[in-house]
Amino acid sequence: MVTELSITVKPEEENSEKAVKNYILKSLAARNIRASFDEITPVFIKKSIDARHGQIKIVMRFEVYIGEKPKTAEELLPKWKHADGKNVVAIIGSGPAGLYAAFRLLEDGIKPVIIERGSDASMRKNDIAQISRKGILNPNSNFCYGEGGAGTFSDGKLYTRSNKRGDISKIYRIFVEFGAPEQILTDAHPHIGTDKLPGIVSAMRKKIIELGGEVYFDTACTELVCHKADNELTVSGVKTKNVITGEERTFESDAVILATGHSAADVYSMIAELSPDSLEAKTFAVGVRVEHPRELIDNIQFHGKKMPQAAEYRLTAQVEERGVYSFCMCPGGFVVPCATSPDQIVVNGMSASGRNSRWSNSAIVVERRPEDIPQEFVERAEKDGCRALAGLYWRTWLEKLTQEKGEGQKAPAQRLTDFLAGKKSEGLPETSYTPGVVSSRLDEWLPEEISARLKKGFREFDLSMKGFVCDDAVLIASETRTSTPVRILRNKETFECAGIKNLYPAGEGSGYSGGIGSSAMDGEKIAGVISRKLSGIS
């Protein structure tokens, strides 16, 4: 017999097998299920911390096996086959959507060929270090582009609410197989950390190659190879260019998975030229990063009690018919530079696995709908033949404006109290943002519809988290890559791009997912569709 249940324990009881089992036995007895201590095998599903009412409690959920044993980790892993080369699928992008698509194809022996514009994780580390040390940004290898995608070096949070997209536990188990800590299988908000993810994604890549797949780094997709028949465009491969050597190459394939992430603006332009009606403007969000001393946030959330982990928070408000909310909260983390061009400043957040830095930060962003985009950007997009690109043009404008208000990759910043008071910060607190910050009146140059809502949102947040608004809190601009402003429309039955057959948009860049977990599931789902099609299974 197998049943699920939750128990609530004190922090000091969490790691006591005897205490946990006794709580489980009491919960079973309340359901009229009789079992002995030795008959039950609890399998941890997840845990969460309840810090309400000033008392810390741990809520633990288990799948309890009574009189039988659970499957082993090895039994739960998918069975991968060596690619036979009969069918080939090109995957553009090596982020979670691309990697998990490759593994799903290998379940059926289909050969994945991954094409990644950025460098492998080892080289990418060097490129990222140059941003902080010298302010030098490589437009092809940075926090957004390279092995593992944007999540590899910008936090590695796995939590997703999109469980209907697929089996998230399968995604976690594969991560664990390649080196992730087993606790991601059970934490309520699982997190791997940027110190561990590079090694994990490198191990995944090596396994893909071992199974007959191919991976090409520093290789940009420059063109989709298409032919037109019966008034339909069909893709049959991709043209590429090595961004270091300039070598050009064409890869033929039975299908192309487009897993390019939320920052590849050139890919949207490529789609717009071929099939502008395949793109749709969508809601996205922009704002700032707010950074506090970690101790301050911990004290607020844990009511002054000491806990072994850094505190998290999630804040939402509705301001003038638009959502204002926290996003990608990084407890014990760092603010990092995530631009993909030297003339931009974009900030994001990350945490190492220990989440033990002196700061905690989060994006605080304002919902931006297609109808909110200024007319000048709409007119420009229409002139270019694709109105759906208007939000992307506006986002790029804001990122360039932010760079003008900064200095190289030094980001414009303002104390939160000064932002609300409408005055320049004469001095800024020490921050985790290693390129550095420069004092700037964010309240003056951020678009009024963004800054005004941020001000009201911050005041609301301070009501629920008293002390959130303080002199030690600093705003760093601009946070613009929470998601893409564009969706690549997919056929609801075949999952192909609406206007281009054999092209399968996947992951964040497609506009159908957000974050590592949901992108991985989306990549898996798309690869499953392709696999069934190539196998002749309807």
Whether 187 has a pLDDT exceeding 80, the answer reads no
Whether 154 has a pLDDT exceeding 70, the answer reads no
Q: ∠ CA(229), CA(235), CA(240), 5° rounding?
A: 140
- 3-state secondary structure at position 506: coil
Q: Which of 158-167, 211-220, 240-249, 313-322 shows the lowest mean pLDDT across its residues?
A: 158-167
Instruction: Give percent of the chain with pLDDT exceeding 90.
Output: 75
Model confidence at 161, in pLDDT bands (50, 70, 90)? Answer: low
pLDDT of amino acid 332: 95
Query: Distance between CA 538 and CA 528 in Å, rounded?
Result: 11
Provide mean pLDDT across the span 447-453.
98
Provide mean pLDDT across the span 217-243.
94
Residues in contact with 17: Cβ distance below 8 Å, sequence separation at least 6, in sequence order: none
Provide mean pLDDT across the span 10-14.
87
pLDDT digits over 415-443, tens only? 999 999 999 999 999 999 999 999 999 99
Question: What DSSP string runs through 263-281?
Answer: T-HHHHHHHHHH-GGGEEE
Query: Beta-strand (E) ranges in 101-156?
Result: 111-115
Terminal alpha carbon distance of the chain: 35
Whether 15 has a pLDDT exceeding 70, the answer reads yes
Provide mean pLDDT across the span 12-36.
91
pLDDT of amino acid 191: 74
Provide mean pLDDT across the span 402-413.
97
Whether 163 has a pLDDT exceeding 90, the answer reads no
Whether 162 has a pLDDT exceeding 70, the answer reads no
Q: Which of 126-130, 152-156, 274-278, 484-488 shows the lowest mean pLDDT across its residues?
A: 152-156
pLDDT digits over 322-333, tens only? 999 999 999 999
Whether 538 has a pLDDT exceeding 70, the answer reads no
Question: What is the dihedral sign for C-alpha 417, 419, 424, 429?
Answer: positive
Instruction: Determine if the peptide bond prior to 478 is cis (ω within 30°).
Output: yes
- CB count, 10 Å around CB of 69? 8
pLDDT digits over 454-504, tens only? 999 999 999 999 999 999 999 999 999 998 999 999 999 999 999 999 999
pLDDT digits over 117-149, tens only? 999 999 999 999 999 888 899 999 998 999 998
Model confidence at 47, in pLDDT bands (50, 70, 90)? Answer: confident
Q: Over the chain, what is the mean pLDDT?
A: 92
pLDDT of amino acid 158: 63
pLDDT of amino acid 160: 56
Whether 51 has a pLDDT exceeding 70, the answer reads yes
pLDDT of amino acid 32: 93
Model confidence at 339, in pLDDT bands (50, 70, 90)? Answer: very high
Model confidence at 252, in pLDDT bands (50, 70, 90)? Answer: very high
Instruction: Give percent of the chain with pLDDT exceeding 70.
Output: 97
Query: Distance between CA 398 and CA 359 in Å, rounded?
Result: 26
Provide mean pLDDT across the span 67-95.
91
Residues in contact with 153: Cβ distance below 8 Å, sequence separation at least 6, in sequence order: 124, 125, 128, 143, 146, 194, 197, 198, 336, 350
Whether 164 has a pLDDT exceeding 70, the answer reads no
Provide mean pLDDT across the span 400-408.
97
Q: Tell me if 345 sits within 8 A of 411, measured CB to CB.
A: yes
Whether 354 has a pLDDT exceeding 80, the answer reads yes
